[in-house]
Structure 1
Amino acid sequence: MDSQRNLILIGLLFVSFLLWQQWTLDQAPQAETPAAQTVATADKANDVPQSAAKSAAPAGATISDRLIQVQTDTLKLTIDATGGDVVYAALPEHKVEQGGDEALTILENENGFTYIAQSGLIGLNGPHASGQRPVYQAQAANYTLQDGQDTLVVPLIFTDANGVKFEKRYTFTRGHYDVRVDYLVHNTSDAAIQVQMYSQLKQSIGKSEGSMMMPTYRGGAYSTADTRYEKYAFDKMEKNNLAEATQGGWIAMLQHYFVSAWVPSADSTNDIYSNVVSGDAIIGVKQPAVQIAPGAEQTLGATLYVGPKNQEALSALSPTLNLVVDYGWLWFIAQPLHSLLMFLQSLVSNWGVAIILMTLIIRGFMYPLTKAQYTSMAKMRKLQPKLADLKERFGDDRQRMSQAMMELYQKEKVNPMGGCLPLLLQFPIFIAFYWVLLESVELRHAPFFGWITDLSVKDPYYVLPVLMGISMFAMQKMQPTMATMDPMQQKIMQYMPVMFTVFFLWFPSGLVLYWLVGNLVAIAQQLFIYRSLEKQGLK
């Protein structure tokens, strides 16, 4: 197989890869976002998981007007005193638009769209057991992490009819996107009580992300002791309620670059569940029920994460939570590539330069394969007259023809697949790095130079895609076999740079930069290899 056919194969493989990704996105139901609703009716039946019967919240349950505002260096949250749920979360360090002032919103509950983080105590004596949402009392309506303060505690108090005191305590830490949510239960009654903590994420079905060029995922995910990471899309939730018992584990809602997750105790056996109620998808986890003796105190807790897909921060919460940075089935290649990219960026302090250095390293690593590919192609071209002679002698006898060809290959020490195998080995590396550039939140709003102010979005002036197309055209012109192709192959090859240029117009500029630099390095390698082959008498 000559290099022209290799380019055709690369194009077909890559386009097929994109089409397959888009097909998987299109299979998900695109339900419309529910019509606008008032906050007074936002609490829906079955929001609260039950340890026994499926008790429903009362029809008149409402979201409280008492909203508690919390501001830290990394998070801006709103906690609803009814239930103590997080109904709003924004990230001050991540803006909606590059250079803008508006913080990116993750959790929200307005304009007919719900995406909130809920938690509570059920069990025989939990304040959420009957489906009611307890109204907590707070010491203040606003809490702010002050300069020089490392932690901020927001206590919410509820006392039930039996005098049992429940303190729901949010603990925020400077520089962190994870929030510790603890229940301190003071059983001041005369009888033992049983409570069970649940934590869940609720999101309206219908808000989708991704396109053919940016095939990102929005939906649920979870982890168990047996399944390190599993997506659980909204359409799956509509068909089947998730029910998994596991030690440790976690649940999450994913979107491009960002994630919300609940991480329960790693030492207990927890129940992971899902449900769909009135157009809202719910995924959550219940921890074991605990008995609290009269006069005793007990603490139950879990960790809520709302923030970017920072692998280091996620791994600190759970060994598998970093897998929400989803590199697909080539994760074992992508993860080392991401680590190397992070290291290079730490040296040069520019993500575009880091991508260039990364490309040089990858191309250098694959140079022996590239050289073997061109050497094999040159040897195959040199054998063409002998192969034609064999065809004339044994053309009608396929068995003898195949045997004669194999003998010729062995005699000349030529591998007929030598031109294909290096290509097939290179393609997974490209796809893996494609996912690294697509999934790395570090590239969001990361500038390169000049007009490239954000490597995670397309080139606004399409300069890089056009240069990439020109480089492909130059590579094509360097091939010596163009004139020997049949007319159909010639047309395909002539349109290949144009087709790729059109595709890359909408690609993230970081990925186009990688491809462009890769082409330029490939041209230099081709020139060097051609000269080396000519010295060996191989044209």
Structure 2
Amino acid sequence: MDKNTIWAIVLSTLVIIGSYLILPKFFPGLNMMGFGKQANAQTTTEETAEPQEFSLDDSAEVSELSIAADYDEESEDQPALVEQKYTITTDKVEAVFTNKGGDIISYKLLDHKDMDTNDFVQLSDNVNSKNRTCAISFGKAEEKIIDEIFNTETDGKTITFTKTMNVNGKKTTMRKVYSFMDGEYVFKLDVLIHTADSNGLDLGGTSYTIRTSPQIGPHFNPKQNRYERREFITFNGNKYKKIMLSNGQFKEYDKDLIWAGIAGKYFVELMIPSAPEKINTSKYSSQVEVNNYANAQAFIERAAFSGSDISDTYYMYFGPRNDKDLKRYNIAENNGWNLGGKKVTQALQTSGWLNWLEKILKVVLEMLNKLFHNWGVSIIIMTLILKVIMFPLSKKQSLGSLKMQELQPKMQALQEKYKGDQQKLQQETSKLYQQAGYNPASGCLPMLFQFLILFAMYNLFNNYFEFRGAMFIPHWIPDLSTGDVVKTFNFNIPLLGNQLRLLPVIYVGTQLLSGKITQYGQTTAPGQSQATMKFMMYGMPLMFFFMFYNAPSGLLLYWLTSNVLQIFQQLIINKMMKEKRAEKEAGKPAAKVQKTLPPKAKRK
């Protein structure tokens, strides 16, 4: 493997890394709706879904479904009922309900603060009179939500909403029962329907549709918040998938549903039916409803039923997108709802095939944080550990570079000799490498390992829940999950935004210094190789400056620390290489000195 091949690998890797950062910057809508990396766990495979698309706008064809309150003598409902709000609070959440439809209009997580408002995280975002959290519509997702006033009963941490309605002329009673527990991010929603006859409810193959919040919080504006995203996720037939949508789309995915939901970078809403075989399909919306902000909403359509009564149960996980809380619901004995076997931890974002490396790095970071109680310090110490582990490889790479320099004259002679015979040139070059004991691929291993670490670290710092709001240095790096901010301007700087950041500037300085020290004492070949080396020294740091300017400060802290350690490491290696050259030079003169002795000395 020659140098050109090595540089090709490096530059290709840079393009891939850049795509993670540049595409979301210039096309925030893509990242918002789930474009980008796809996870892949060992037990499952993630596939790009091929959903069916349909519209939910005002021009769409909606069935003439008739729903009206029933006020006959058997109904307890009275026209004088007015909208009222009810609140249920546990140690984890505060849920506010309206008796209009029996829906949630506010859902706050009491253990987590919104980084912008310093209030509790509001998970039910974009709620409005036409679209509420856990709202139900008779028929398919295209139909309007039920907006009637329900009778309400509360009992501790349980609230029940009941309403009798005429659905297409059929007397139908719906009951929605929400149950909460302390210590749980899951609440249970029971939906019970009774029809006056035994023909059940069949509205185009569907009986009703249930949904998540219109948008998951904290409040999300993709044009302003480059560190957030929204994803449509589902677990179907033992496979985790992301449903890809652009702004304004509404799509359907009708495979074997286990759960469906929407996810942000740090929080997630999952709808988990206890009887998935009763579900027809799941649907996903990114349509704009409120203040020109797109929704990110998931729907589950329940199949039509015969008979007069049904009782369905849904477990709703509304909480942090982290391993600690989600894994409790993989095993029934670990949670108060005895919920298990649904593989909800598949909702976590991972590095795909690098998931194993990400887990190792996460464990090391967590152990270090227990010792130092500061995530920034833990990152620095972990980087030092990685450098120590990789030192033998880096040393081998540098010594290999020295060997390559020594072989340059012979290689140039071979190139001149076999200028017109490429096959012979390759054979002779390979023979030269063998005779010199040089393996050209040896320089790739340290480089490959470093880029594997970089990929895993990028995903870790970009998704690891514990980095959310993790402070390193007050007033400079208050949050390792976002970029550091020295000053905010009232105007935008092209390619950079409206914030001045110091970490990227320091990073570029250390990268340039590291390159200078690495090249110190080394000879470079003329022509293309020399031009390539100049680009690697000056062009790459500049490219990385723009690529990583808005990267999470945790990632930049890792890379900056790595550069500083690389400088000291290279100084040590340079000294070793200098000594090695001196040893070789010291071994040559003996024969030459003998030839230069004066005649009298020779006779002695």
TM-score range for the pair, normalised by the shorter chain length:
0.7 to 0.9
Say if 2:563 is the partner of 1:519: yes
Conserved? CA contact 1:115–1:201, under 8 Å: no
Say if 2:157 is the partner of 1:152: yes
- Summarize the Cα distance change of 1:59–1:118 in structure 2 as closer, same or farther, 3 Å threshold: same
State which drifts further: 187-196 or 14-23.
187-196
How far 1:434 moved relative to its partner? Answer: 0.5
Q: Distance in 1 between matches of 2:480 and 2:445?
A: 32
Q: Distance in 2 between matches of 1:119 and 1:311?
A: 28
Q: Distance in 2 between matches of 1:106 and 1:94?
A: 11
Say if 2:125 is the partner of 1:108: yes
Deviations 1:343-362 (A, max 9, x none): 43234322112222332333
Q: Distance in 2 between matches of 1:114 and 1:163?
A: 23
What secondary structure sits across from 1:244 in the alignment? coil
- Which of the numbers 93, 97, 101 marks the counterpart of 2:111? 93
- Summarize the Cα distance change of 1:109–1:502 in structure 2 as closer, same or farther, 3 Å threshold: closer
- Which of the numbers 49, 71, 89 marks the counterpart of 1:71? 89
- Summarize the Cα distance change of 1:237–1:425 in structure 2 as closer, same or farther, 3 Å threshold: farther
Conserved? CA contact 2:252–2:281, under 8 Å: no
2:514 aligned partner: 475
- Summarize the Cα distance change of 1:482–1:184 in structure 2 as closer, same or farther, 3 Å threshold: farther
Conserved? CA contact 1:262–1:305, under 8 Å: yes
Q: Distance in 2 between matches of 1:236 and 1:520?
A: 43
State which drifts further: 474-483 or 114-123.
114-123
Q: Distance in 2 between matches of 1:191 and 1:8?
A: 70
1:136 aligned partner: 150
What secondary structure sits across from 1:305 in the alignment? strand
How far 1:57 moved relative to its partner? Answer: 6.5
- Summarize the Cα distance change of 1:117–1:375 in structure 2 as closer, same or farther, 3 Å threshold: farther
Q: Distance in 2 between matches of 1:355 and 1:510?
A: 8
Conserved? CA contact 2:28–2:223, under 8 Å: no
What secondary structure sits across from 1:234 in the alignment? coil
2:349 aligned partner: 326
Aligned positions of 1:404-483 closer than 5 A: 404-450=428-474, 451-461=476-486, 462-478=501-517, 479-480=519-520, 481=522
2:212 aligned partner: 201
- Which of the numbers 377, 380, 385 marks the counterpart of 1:353? 377
| Paired residue total | 497
Say if 2:591 is the partner of 1:510: no
Aligned positions of 1:303-322 closer than 5 A: 303-318=315-330, 320-322=343-345
How far 1:238 moved relative to its partner? Answer: 2.8
Rg (Cα) greater in structure: 2
- Summarize the Cα distance change of 1:356–1:268 in structure 2 as closer, same or farther, 3 Å threshold: farther
1:403 aligned partner: 427
How far 1:117 moved relative to its partner? Answer: 2.6
Deviations 1:41-83 (A, max 9, x none): xxxx979xxxxx95647699xx983332333333232223222
TM-score of the aligned structures, taking structure 1 as reference length = 0.76
- Which of the numbers 367, 377, 386 marks the counterpart of 2:391? 367
2:262 aligned partner: 253
Aligned positions of 1:260-271 closer than 5 A: 260-265=269-274, 268=277, 270-271=279-280
- Unpaired segments ≥5 residues, structure 2: 33-54, 70-80, 289-294, 331-341, 487-500, 585-604
Conserved? CA contact 2:137–2:146, under 8 Å: no
TM-score of the aligned structures, taking structure 2 as reference length = 0.69
Identity of aligned residues (%): 25
- Summarize the Cα distance change of 1:199–1:325 in structure 2 as closer, same or farther, 3 Å threshold: same
What secondary structure sits across from 1:460 in the alignment? coil
CA RMSD of aligned residues (A): 4.4
How far 1:515 moved relative to its partner? Answer: 0.7
- Which of the numbers 300, 312, 316 marks the counterpart of 1:285? 300
Deviations 1:98-122 (A, max 9, x none): 6x54223221345x79874325486
Say if 2:180 is the partner of 1:172: yes
Q: Distance in 2 between matches of 1:404 and 1:388?
A: 12
- Summarize the Cα distance change of 1:8–1:495 in structure 2 as closer, same or farther, 3 Å threshold: farther
Q: Distance in 2 between matches of 1:289 and 1:471?
A: 65
2:530 aligned partner: 486
Q: Distance in 2 between matches of 1:131 and 1:448?
A: 46
Conserved? CA contact 1:3–1:419, under 8 Å: no
Conserved? CA contact 1:275–1:283, under 8 Å: yes
- Summarize the Cα distance change of 1:341–1:469 in structure 2 as closer, same or farther, 3 Å threshold: same
Conserved? CA contact 1:356–1:514, under 8 Å: yes
Conserved? CA contact 1:46–1:277, under 8 Å: no
How far 1:469 moved relative to its partner? Answer: 2.4
Q: Distance in 1 between matches of 2:538 and 2:8?
A: 11
Conserved? CA contact 2:514–2:567, under 8 Å: yes
Q: Distance in 2 between matches of 1:273 and 1:109?
A: 21
Q: Distance in 2 between matches of 1:420 and 1:223?
A: 38
2:414 aligned partner: 390
How far 1:262 moved relative to its partner? Answer: 0.9
Deviations 1:476-533 (A, max 9, x none): 1212347656356425523443443454443222111111111122223323334444
